[in-house]
Structure 1
Amino acid sequence: MTAICKTIAVHGEHLSSLLDYGADIEKTSLLGNDALSNLFDYAKNESKTSFVDPLNDEKSILVTGVKCSPETANKEFKDTRDLYPDSKRGLGNKQSRVIAIHLIQSFKETNISPIIAHKIGIELLERNGYMGVVDTHMNKTHIHNHIIINSYIPGGDKKIILEKKFLMNIRKFSDDLQKEYGIPIDFESPTKQLEKSKDSLQYGEWAAQRKNKSWKADLYESMLICSASSSSKEEYIKLLKRFGYTLAKQQRNGDLVWFNLDKTKKIKESTLYREFTDSTLRQFNHSSIHFDYLETRYSWDGRELNNIENTLRETYNIICAVANYISNSHSIAQLKSYNLEYKKSELTWASNIKGLYSVDTIKELDEKLNSVGTSISIIKKQIKDIESIKDYYHTIAEYSSSAKLLKQSFINQGGQSNLLNELYLPHISALEASENNATIAPLSSTQKRDLHILMATHPDYRIVNAQLGYRNLSTVDYFNIVKYFKYGGELPGILCNRNSFNHDMAYKNQYDFLSKKFPFAANPRQIGDCKKLLVDAGYDITKINLKSLTLADVINIQNCLGPAPTLEDTKDITSPSVNDINRCVDICKQKGIVPPMHPKDMSSKQCNIFYSWACSQGKDPRIIELQSKHINDDKAFSKSIVNLKPELQTAIRSYRNAVIKLHKIGLSPDDIDVYINQFENIDEHLNSLKLNQTTLNKQYKDLIHLKQILYFSHDLNYVYGSPNLREEFYEFKRRDLSLDNDRLQFQKDNFKKNKDKDLDFTF
């Protein structure tokens, strides 16, 4: 019998991978015993799939192109497609075009030759005028063809539409070809054939299921387990959420829409599989009623049960007794429909699982389920957290590894290691480093929300220099803050007590802010004023390039060396925040400054101006601090290595560029090995968590399955097969018991009648 098992629509992004899959040598190689070793050598050197005919050891190609070459089919498909006018190219912007159709033609006959099967596939294309590729696979217990058909028929006037008419025609044509080759066919009605392929898959879903990576298949499996173990829709939803799924919405007709685990896609239950309906849930409601009866610790006939093992053992004995009755009183067909072996295997499995997880009672089973479910939720959160920070550590490890290799390369070429300590690195402020980190690993919207809630629950703390929306914070900052509040330890640098102020950090951040906002050159009058302030303060201005002063430098020099601001009317009616008032009061106490008015009487702008001046008092202007750093530029570095060989200059420049990447995010090249180890450790920890998650998921599904079997073991219809059969079995047991009583009574009477007789020893 032959059949097109699946009819799969192929979109543009999948065609190339489908052609590669079809030509997989591991699936299309027919191995003769004498030619096996030769074939392995041949497979290593040959890019096309082939088989060795066991009769004559001749190599034959099992991949054939019709109206195209298998090696260039992807391009030839596209060239044919491009000949079509735009109006006939497909579905436009609504969804990507179906550019190919994938037919899987299976042959049940075990004695069919791969060559015959291959010819049938080729003729199917040739007689219909299709362009396509035929691959014959023998990696399963049956031979089957993968036929990839171009949806655009050569000629530019006709496109294949994947609809009922096409499906029925291609099946009929395949069956007719099979009859021509003398292969028997078990006919089914066209309606039944079409019904079998109603749930046709897109190629992406088909490929994902083959690789066990289909989120739809995972969701279906979880739905099946939860549906079987729920007594109501509410319990079903709650249980499925324990598996990590999120309910997107519940439609008016009762249909549920679920997100996948990553919350990137969603699907309706009725779209996924038709089995998930209210009627299915109601069916399981009937079974779950008996679970409530089980929790009263009584069996089906009223006898008290001690534990799960007794329940399973009783059920096992009963179904065996029922099966014996059926085998003696009914047909073999009815015994087969009772599914004795399946029920016995289920109960045996449940008994083993019960022992494996050490659960003896329903209460222990529920506690174990809650414990495992909680552990799964915790591990999922940990995995999500680590994956969000993994890219950051990966970037650091990449920078560090690059710097380490370039450093070793410079030394291997004869470079002196002391030169690596004189790289003239640019000045990077703490604020710039924080912002650079935030660029590499920005906070997600969820993390921003969680951080806002976390800080609101800890009003005694605040984040240092946090910008609007936490846009200058990185994922690393987020986890350091969360870790501190959860486990304690050393206060992270990004966090401080609300009533404490780091005025030194504020001074540095203030200059960084001014440098970004006022990078413009100062005018001659401003330069003259700054020159006078510097001279009066005793600074040697001969070492300062005053012409390079910016407006930011002017403001900084005036704050450090000039008089207190007059705080003239700024026309700002905004009151200062409590934090602004407190920091002004704090710095006045520290430095003994008397403000012109109390900070609470200032406007918000006046408060900021006064604080900028106050925290600058006693500080050297930044231009003085950075005198030595002004020469730390590329020119100074180039000058320091001018006497090196060209190859050494290239090597040390590459190393410097790698170090600058670390320097910009506040990391030192001296700790390169530490950063590399951090990434390796986090990667190892993530893999360990995923392994634990897999183990816990299996435990949870096993325990849910055990609970489901316990439901069924107290469902009389499950145990006895049907109400009628149950009544028959009861009547049989009553008759059997009555016969046993009669037999026992007869033996007693006979004993009484003969016990007084003399013994006869006559031979």
Structure 2
Amino acid sequence: MAVMKIHPIKTTLKKAIDYICNGDKTDDEIYVTTHLCSRENAHKEFEITKKQFGSRTKTLAHHLIQSFVPEEVSFEEAHQVGIELCDKILEGKYEYVLATHIDKEHIHNHIIFNSIDVDEGKVYHSYYGSYMNIRSQSDRLCKEHNLSVIDQETQREINEIKRRKFVSWHDWNEDKKGSSYKSRLQFDIDRSIKQSVNWQDFLDRMKSFGYEIKLGNHIAFRKEGQQRFTRAKTIGVNYTEERIKERILNKDKELDNIIDLTNNNKANSSKGYERWATKHNLKTAASTLIEIRNKGFNSIEELERGISRISIEKNELKREFDKLSWEQKRIKKVVKHIQICISKREHYEGYRKNPNDKIYMMMNRKDVEAYQKSYEEIDVF
């Protein structure tokens, strides 16, 4: 799934390019690609192109952001999707800088491209139609790379979840108390799974609890008195239709959750519910204890030793992972220097053939020195 945003840049173009190419965000610029311009002087080259065509546009460039679902795409694939997107929407006619940010949980591409093309000086018009074309091309590329594609209804729901989660303290507090629609839906789904023998039985039980059900790509429920349907998947990964069906089949292996009765409004207002919840918690605790014994732990000491053993194994795996991560980073640095040598080789060869040409060296000093430095780094490795 990739979410697209685009906005014009009318000031501080260099600052914007420097930000997206930040080494901390792009692994020392390994995940930075340019087209028809250089990384260091892209802002100047954008301006030169405008002067060549006498362009009067006040828009210096456009900034496109392509965000992916957390843990769905690798750094390399995200960057490749960004390159392919640029090829599709810019058709090789616009100078651009592409940077993939990998420092956050959600990997995302930043693309800054010139506001006019290099062939005719034609101004890029950003409007609803051009945005929908970008989004369409992005969705098609996501499908080709076996990545999920977001629809508008899902995006609206995601925005609503973000608003609830980070803005409304009331919603958070109601969830905490167990009195919100979503916490109630979660509870009813969990207990229906435990009582159901198959999918249809589950649906019938949810209806008996007062829910209207909407089937489709994503199952949704609406409680009596609730205005909008709630997609079950917004509660968590264990509440998609596929996972609910799996949980019904494997319900005997699934442990219930303990209901927190502390400051629980419903328990305080209903003695019947409080008794039921207490009984439920005792059953869950007993089931958990039986499951622990079935795993071969017959005492607290054995369980603690088992946990300690797992902790040691986890630490060993972490050390091995850190070692591999360090090696991967080292390899990435080598690849970066190789890429620099490849891109700057022509400049260095010109200098090597004419070492006394001061004008050539003055014009190409930065590229020559970059080649020499990267070559030395590769030699060290």
Q: TM range, normalised to the smaller chain?
A: 0.3 to 0.5
Which of these two proteins has the greater Rg computed from alpha carbons?
1
